[in-house]
Structure 1
Amino acid sequence: MHLIHKLASWLETHWAVPAYAGWVILGLTTFFLLAAANTLAGWLYVLGGLGLGLLLVSAVLPIKSLQGLEVERLPLVPVSVGESLNLGLKLSNSTKSAKSLLQVQDHPPKNLGAVTAHSIADIPSQATHTWTYTLQPQQRGVYRWQNVQLRSAAPLGLFWCRRSRPVKAKAIVYPQILPLQQCPLLDHSGHEQDRQRQAQQIGPHNNNEGVTRSIRPYRWGDPLRLVHWRTSARHNELRIRELEMFAGGQTLVIALDSSGSWQADQFEQAVIAAASLYAYGQKHQDQVQLWTAQIGLQTGRQAILETLAQVQAGEVTVAPLPQQSVVWLTADPSGISALPPGSCWLFWPHPNTANGYQQGGQGLVIESDQPLQAQLQIPMTAAQRY
């Protein structure tokens, strides 16, 4: 059965293959010709000849109907996991006759969605037809595919003909970006040296004003040194100064330990965390970079998100880790103590790993079975630490 299907597919793509009605007429024609050879009846020869002529014409016409059709793919806009990916094809009929009863088949990778087909009743001469459809990707990645298939049995419907058109496609699906309202790991850890440098440049008189981004109500766990006493007295409740974390050319580097040994679900969480921290850092910082073991430092939204879309665990380390402070995302606790001064970290422990490591710096231990967004937003004093 598999061999028959394979043979029929080869005939359809290289010549034409009979449809159900075509097989019926082919059987009747064969019967008439065999009966004519046995009885030498002229009318049976006539019926057999008419059947052969009909089959020959119906096999040639679908092949001609696909000639002169040009296919162009509409631009693909990158999306994030869970968003709708819009794809489109434009078919142009450059011939002097109309093209009718066509079927277009696009074959995106399985992770994007199933094979999609579209039927076209008619494309007038020198006209175009645009077909758009939507997929819901559930996995990040950079997806490429090469061909679009045109299929037709016009005009008699007795033979199917299928031809491929080389139309390259590249769909980029970014990882999910969590809408973080706050991130204490970035706000209050690992960057005291930068804040002190800012305070020295601004001077002690303007220290409370010059580095203040905004003032908000006090939340449990906020350090008392950030209390803005003048505003607190005016409102009769504690108010906290939110400081500019990075200024004067300082750069936030998010480093993903892609060369380490990860569990698949934990690595996907780490990629989501890196994308979310990047988006959060952009709101408070002009320069945000991403580091991965194989590609190294990346700058710019498109380059960073595309890197996160295609990064995989277990990559070969090519680029050295930057010497400046970083936000280290890892599943290996052994490298935390060797991070540059001022660094902070996110650690995904193996289920069989025992707690109790004493490492330097500030960080969070991420529990895979807990919501990632909530863990990234909890105050540092309430966070689980090693």
Structure 2
Amino acid sequence: MKINRKIFNWLETHWVAPAYAGGLLTFLSLFFFGAATNTMAGWLYVISGISLALLGIAAVLPVRSLKSLEVRRRSLEPVSVGNQLTVELEIYNRSDQPKTLLQVYDQLPSVLGKSATAIESLAPRSTYHWVYYLPTERRGVYHWDRVQFRTATPLGLFWCRRSRDAKATAIVYPTVLPLTSCPLVDQMGWEQNQQVLDRSQFHMATEGVTRTLRPYRYGDPTRLIHWRSSARYNQLRVRELEVATGGQEIVICLDSGNSWQSDDFERAVIAAASLYFYASRSQLNVQLWTAKTGLIQGNRVVLSTLAAVRESEEAIADNFPNIPVIWLTQNTQSLSSLPSGSRWVLWSDQTQVSSTKTTQFSDKGVQIYPDQPLQLQLQSALK
């Protein structure tokens, strides 16, 4: 059965494959031709000849029908896990004849599912816009490059299928958890700089920390309005305050060069994205490190990197930061080699964690348990 299916697919993509009616008519045509040869009856020759001519026309027309079709694909906007991916294609008929009864298949990666549509009629020199939506359940960078057209028009006796190039790249970002607090980030650098001012003082301040004045924008707090300058310029002017970070630099390191349990690695990617954006919202100088890319920065770059990162990937970047980091790992042995002042997030069982209590970092991290919400664990106090 599988062999027959392979032969059928090969015929359909390289030439034409008979439909059920086409196969039946082919058998009857050969039967009538054989009977005519034995009996020398002219009417049997006529029936077989007409049938074979009809089969020849039915085999040629589907191939000709697909030759003048073109497809163009619009670029895909990245989405986060759980959101729908919007795919848009334009199918253009460049011939002067209408195209009817077309099946169109976008050759998606198996993880994204299947997608197909039917076009009843496509007028000459016209374009058919096909828009469909794909649910996303797993982060990743997905590539595909083919669209297939299939038809048996006009007689329905033979199927013909042809492919067109239409390259696509879909980026599905990992989930970013809305952390309201995170001791891992908040306490980074306290040992190195005990004189760092609390940033909340600057958010509430109205005197002595003004960097510049700018026009008022909707949503600015009224306590920051500089009334004297506003009266002078006859428009509201707002203080733009200095933000103190104490020169802190946060580096979030994902241990992608080692082996992981698949589910744990996916949670580690989510944690890395969540920690990065929490630190960014806290106005810290934050960077991400992976074994393949080294240090990177920038919201879109980080999300794209985390969408593509894989466990046990080849380490082409040998520039591990020599400053305190937040280390996300499943390898307990790696904790002892971290720079002083580092924090860790560990995916491991209780037995392995107990064996690391002799290291100097055993009280400066968070152990992640699979049966508890990841967001709550990232917001918990350090051990």
Structure 1 position 351, deviation (Å):
6.1
Structure 1 position 92, deviation (Å):
0.8
Structure 1 position 97, deviation (Å):
1.4
- The superposition leaves residues 232-259 of structure 1 with CA deviations (integer Å, 9 ceiling, x where unpaired) of xxxxxxxxxxxx9972664321111112
Other-structure match for 1:160: 159
Is the CA contact (8 Å cut-off) linking 1:100 and 1:122 kept in structure 2? yes
Structure 1 position 214, deviation (Å):
5.9
Aligned residues: 343
Structure 1 position 352, deviation (Å):
5.0
Other-structure match for 1:293: 291
5 Å matches for 1:12-91?
12-91=12-91
Is the CA contact (8 Å cut-off) linking 1:331 and 1:350 kept in structure 2? no
- The superposition leaves residues 29-69 of structure 1 with CA deviations (integer Å, 9 ceiling, x where unpaired) of 11211111111111111110110111001111101110111
Is the CA contact (8 Å cut-off) linking 2:199 and 2:245 kept in structure 1? no
5 Å matches for 1:39-188?
39-113=39-113, 115-187=114-186
What secondary structure does 2:321 align onto? coil
- The superposition leaves residues 282-338 of structure 1 with CA deviations (integer Å, 9 ceiling, x where unpaired) of 211263211011210111222211111121222233322111221111112233233
Read off the aligned partner of 1:144 and give its amino acid letter: H
Decide whether aligned partners of structure 1 residues 341 and 306 sit closer, same or farther in structure 2, where only a CA change above 3 A counts.
Answer: same
1:278 aligns with 2:276: yes
- Identify unmatched segments of 5+ residues in structure 1: 200-207, 216-243
Alignment TM-score, normalising by the size of structure 2: 0.84
Other-structure match for 2:365: 363
Structure 1 position 212, deviation (Å):
4.2
Superposed CA RMSD in Å reads 2.2
Decide whether aligned partners of structure 1 residues 214 and 23 sit closer, same or farther in structure 2, where only a CA change above 3 A counts.
Answer: farther
CA distance in 2, matches of 1:344, 1:290: 14
Read off the aligned partner of 2:276 and give its amino acid letter: Y
Is the CA contact (8 Å cut-off) linking 1:17 and 1:159 kept in structure 2? yes
Is the CA contact (8 Å cut-off) linking 1:106 and 1:116 kept in structure 2? yes
CA distance in 1, matches of 2:16, 2:55: 11
- Identify unmatched segments of 5+ residues in structure 2: 206-241
Is the CA contact (8 Å cut-off) linking 1:12 and 1:160 kept in structure 2? yes
Structure 1 position 342, deviation (Å):
3.0
CA distance in 2, matches of 1:25, 1:38: 20
Decide whether aligned partners of structure 1 residues 126 and 250 sit closer, same or farther in structure 2, where only a CA change above 3 A counts.
Answer: farther
Other-structure match for 2:259: 261
Alignment TM-score, normalising by the size of structure 1: 0.83
Read off the aligned partner of 1:86 and give its amino acid letter: T
What secondary structure does 2:155 align onto? coil
- Identity of matched residues, %: 47
Read off the aligned partner of 2:148 and give its amino acid letter: Q
CA distance in 2, matches of 1:138, 1:159: 38
Other-structure match for 2:313: 315
What secondary structure does 2:274 align onto? helix
Read off the aligned partner of 1:289 and give its amino acid letter: Q
Is the CA contact (8 Å cut-off) linking 1:245 and 1:284 kept in structure 2? no
CA distance in 2, matches of 1:31, 1:287: 82
- The superposition leaves residues 269-293 of structure 1 with CA deviations (integer Å, 9 ceiling, x where unpaired) of 1111001111212211263211011
Is the CA contact (8 Å cut-off) linking 2:188 and 2:250 kept in structure 1? no
